[in-house]
Structure 1
């Protein structure tokens, strides 16, 4: 299919009165959240390219004071959720500090479509560097349009947006006064086999024998895959959407990887508080998984494993598992904005293949899974985006990312790095303070981005102290 590069609407700026129609109230739950649009440059690194497009953002000015700061939440690898405009820890900070709150959706995600489609030629405009430049242009123009003068801007983000928050402070110190980079994997890495190492360690916290049971079950599944007569059983046990067909090693790896991700996701988001985002399945925790895996009355470790998968699926409202690698590749090759992959799958994989890697392989011997090596992950880059996206190209791209941002060698100031230690992503983040104003806040027993979510009684005790510390640091830094 031919790739046609087009810019979206070219229009004049909305007036301030038209663009911002929020209801100013003291009750944050009554804030009216609407889509607003910002005319953004397509290519910030080519001065001769004057093409523009419309980028979505949200605003909550119900707490804003004339001398207060501006809080900017950075969107990530999915649609920006307006729920963050009324909930989350940053809103608590905003209430206390009189901040204006803005959330800018990441280019190529959600409704922010810079190009006609997502063909590879268009995806070259999708990068963390372009996203940071989007933030800079947005901040510069909005400061003038809203008359924000010399107000200090604080950027917030979690996971990949957490990286963007830190990198924005590093690359644009004249714009970002401070940053809170929650669960930010700032080091790009090709083979992130340590991810599954942490999954194993986190599983063992509840039941020391839990990882061994998962390993036995995973190995049994691999043995069953050796014989076609077992495919009916596997299809039934794992609630596969279609009868299992194995055409290549990629089919086997895709199935094993897909099943392992159910367990890994439970660990990554263990006991978090994402319900306000519409996320289902939060009731399935590490404790639930390991209780099932240790329950001999259910049957063999494999029987318990399939019971775990079925339990997770039920909690998420999923009817079946799509286990066809061919169908996956077909879906991911669809370049239209109406495709299923446009929800973020095609875009984010492109970024992993061209910037970050982060490939969560089963190559380590210190984890309970097998069958999805690094080669399997890199092969996906070629299968989806073309043969040019091969091992040397992906490796060089990851090296360039670390050269550009510094990896773990952060050279900046006024950045906070909260990291949940159950979360596998903390391995690629800052877990020890680098200076008095490059502050790491490791969170025992906490999951991915746990400090960002609304507080609740059931959460790990460390979160309340971490949130207080973040507020203290921001209060101190905003006085500088």
Structure 2
């Protein structure tokens, strides 16, 4: 059991499964701090606690009664609070003269209650427990500010998240509306979808006709090579994935194409394929995988189910924890569409059912209907939530893309490279046109200001 001390909060969600940034030295301006968190919030007879890491960025805080931005973190380790000048969270903090706090999600990074992630120990890794962590933490943090001249300060709280943590941001408003004044759910995946075939359908749409045609052709050639015993291993080796089963290899390849598009790097995927000029397409895709995807977004070994069965907690690993969350609550299983699939048909719902049972035990499977009944899916009853999505992001189909009411506005930011979390992160490949992002950020700013009044 890990242990001890105090608090803070910001959320960002990752699709990549390896986090080398946590191995880098912490910025001296934002030292890591610690909060002593309750292990089981819903069992009064269980007094166990564990240590959660948090960080504070108060460089924009004016003091007095200025608000707190609670930036929620998701399924990965954290190395510090939002601090880059082009981060919209920092823009908001500067405009509001607010302090930013961010809390590492339970079980991720160096905030795990256990050193051994057995199924028995993972049972406290739930959305309900994570939301209660946020409530417990941020109220304690606020009380810590109420000293001296600030003893009677209100210190209003506004929470923000991206992707899974964007969903947490919306759910936090739903479950704890008395704690926070409002929320931004950037690419907030609030709808737990069991068979998420819209994901790959969006990849085909986002990459355009020329690229998707070549991409589909490439994947069919790859399947032919993998199905041949004489070329199976040599082909996987080109992708540095010879340790993977065929099915796990195909899951990885779905992420290679999906994540490059998802995060606005479709040029890294499409340009080499479309301009291959007679070069073997599988060779081109292997080069893209090794040089543009691997290390930045994932590593082949992380897709192996033997790896997922490893129970020791490692700070920079998030694979087992995130699969636990998807296999028990959230799903988001990216199955191959019936037509025009860039993903092998091997990756069907049976594959995911087998993976969940193999890694966590027979019968492990999410009840997405019950989960959405509890949290509302994409018809959430949470109010004062600003939903935003990127036009090319495949995850938008698990989010809210149309306004649910005056207090639940939703925008889709339309531009080339407008991918996952674009409102907060911007476009790594450059937003084109850039004015679309600026317009929606201005709109979000007005809602935040209004809800904090």
TM-score interval, smaller chain? 0.7 to 0.9
For 2:421 and 2:381, the matched residues in 1 are separated by 23
Residues 1:330 and 2:322 aligned together: no
Q: Is the 1:419–1:443 contact (alpha carbons within 8 Å) kept by the matching residues of 2? A: yes
What are the superposed Cα offsets for residues 142-191 of structure 1, whole Å, 9 maximum, x if unpaired?
Answer: 22222164221000100000000000001100001100000011110111
Q: Of the candidates 403, 408, 412, which is equivalent to residue 373 of structure 2?
A: 403
State the SS of the aligned residue for 1:298.
coil
Q: Deviations over 1:319-345 (max 9, x none)?
A: 9x97679x8222211111138xx6110
- Alignment-derived partner of residue 253 in structure 1: 247
- Quickly say closer, same or farther: Cα 1:306–1:260, change in 2 above 3 A: farther
Structure 1 residues 336-364: Cα deviation after superposition (integer angstroms, max 9, x where no partner): 1138xx61100000000011110001143
1:268: which partner in 2?
A: 262
TM superposition shift of 1:125: 0.4
CA RMSD of aligned residues (A): 2.6
Q: How many aligned residue pairs are there?
A: 423
CA distance 1:35–1:323, change in 2 (3 Å): closer
**1:70-469 correspondence runs (5 A):** 70-82=68-80, 84-87=82-85, 88-147=87-146, 149-204=153-208, 208-231=209-232, 233-241=234-242, 251-270=245-264, 285-295=265-275, 297-299=277-279, 303-315=280-292, 328-338=304-314, 343-370=317-344, 371-389=346-364, 393-394=365-366, 397-445=367-415, 446-453=418-425, 458-460=430-432, 461=434, 462-469=436-443
Alpha-carbon distance between aligned partners in 1 of 2:440 and 2:299, rounded to the nearest angstrom: 39
CA drift of 1:226 comes to 2.8
How many angstroms apart in 1 are the aligned matches of 2:132 and 2:232?
50
Point out where structure 2 has 5 or more consecutive residues left out of the alignment. Answer: 9-26
Q: Give the deviation of 1:459 after TM superposition.
A: 2.0
Post-superposition Cα deviations, 1:261-312, rounded to whole Å, max 9, x if no partner, equal 2111111001xxxxxxxxxxxxxx323422322235233xxx2243133134
Tell me how far apart the structure 2 counterparts of residues 85 and 106 of structure 1 sit (CA, whole Å): 19
Moved segments of 4+, more than 6 Å: none
Does the CA contact (< 8 Å) of 2:114 and 2:313 recur in 1? no
Distance in 1 separating the partners of 2:211 and 2:99? 46
TM value normalised by structure 2 = 0.87
How far apart are residue 455 of structure 1 and its match?
7.7
Distance 1:151 1:437, change over 3 A: same
Q: How far off its partner does 1:91 sit?
A: 0.8
Deviation of residue 224 (structure 1)? Answer: 2.1
Distance, in Å, in 2 between the alignment partners of 1:454 and 1:368 is 26
Contact 1:182 1:418 in 2 (8 A): yes
Structure of higher CA gyration radius: 1
Q: What TM-score does the superposition give when structure 1 sets the normalisation length?
A: 0.82
